[in-house]
């Protein structure tokens, strides 16, 4: 199961990367702890079977099976994943990246319907070392506004503005001698305590 308080992990297996990408999609705009549990239950709760081949499936194999058998939306609804159209499109779209999640690019991820700049960067930042990208969620935007004194949008900005604000965050990480992943997690933990 994904542990949101220690989200950065650079040595994930391909199977773990599949689950982490699905978590990255699912958590957008929602509580991380609750979504981690929902995803875990969605993927593994109904796999209790004597068929060892099914029990050994990767998350992408599970999605492909559910999709081909017209069960994906039903399973999503059963576990109350929400945002069904967006998440279903994204889950189907990421199947194209099977076996190459260690090298998939931000642009490739963003080409999938249901995955935006924030989600693509979240996956890359917390699964690969030395990434110079920012996950501009509401916590980061509030922190940047407070830290820099510059007005920030209330929600994730569009692609053009994203790059400008991303550069501000990367500068702040550099000033603090932190990687973007370290600063991102520190800010998330700080704001999670307040919530």
Q: Is 137 an annotated catalytic residue?
A: yes
One of 11, 51, 92, 118 is an active-site residue; which one?
118
CA distance 150 to 188: 20
Phi, psi for residue 63 in degrees, rounded to 5: -60, -45
What sections of the chain are H helices per DSSP? 14-26, 32-44, 52-55, 59-68, 72-78, 84-94, 106-110, 117-125, 138-148, 159-175, 180-194
Q: How far apart are CA 151 and CA 21, in angstroms?
A: 31
Determine whether 118 is an active site residue: yes
Residue 27: strand, helix, or coil: coil
From the list 51, 137, 142, 159, the catalytic residue is 137
Q: Which of 80, 75, 74 is nearest to 35 (CA)?
A: 80
Length of the chain: 195
Q: Tell me which residues are annotated as active site.
A: 118, 137
């Amino acid at each position: 199961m994904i542990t949101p308080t220690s989200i950065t992990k650079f040595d994930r297996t391909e199977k773990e990367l599949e689950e982490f990408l699905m978590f990255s999609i699912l958590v957008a705009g929602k509580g991380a702890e609750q979504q981690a549990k929902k995803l875990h239950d969605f993927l593994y709760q109904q796999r209790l079977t004597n068929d060892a081949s099914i029990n050994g499936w990767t998350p992408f194999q599970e999605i492909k099976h559910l999709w081909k058998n017209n069960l994906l939306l039903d399973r999503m609804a059963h576990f109350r994943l929400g945002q069904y159209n967006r998440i279903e499109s994204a889950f189907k779209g990421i199947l194209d990246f099977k076996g190459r999640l260690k090298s998939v690019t931000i642009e490739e991820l963003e080409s999938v319907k249901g995955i935006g700049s924030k989600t693509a960067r979240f996956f890359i930042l917390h699964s690969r070392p030395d990434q110079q990208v920012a996950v501009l969620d509401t916590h980061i935007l509030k922190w940047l506004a407070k830290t820099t004194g510059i007005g920030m949008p209330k929600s994730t900005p569009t692609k053009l503005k994203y790059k400008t604000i991303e550069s501000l965050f990367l500068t702040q990480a550099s000033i603090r001698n932190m990687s973007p992943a370290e600063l991102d997690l520190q800010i998330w933990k700080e704001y999670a305590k307040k919530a």
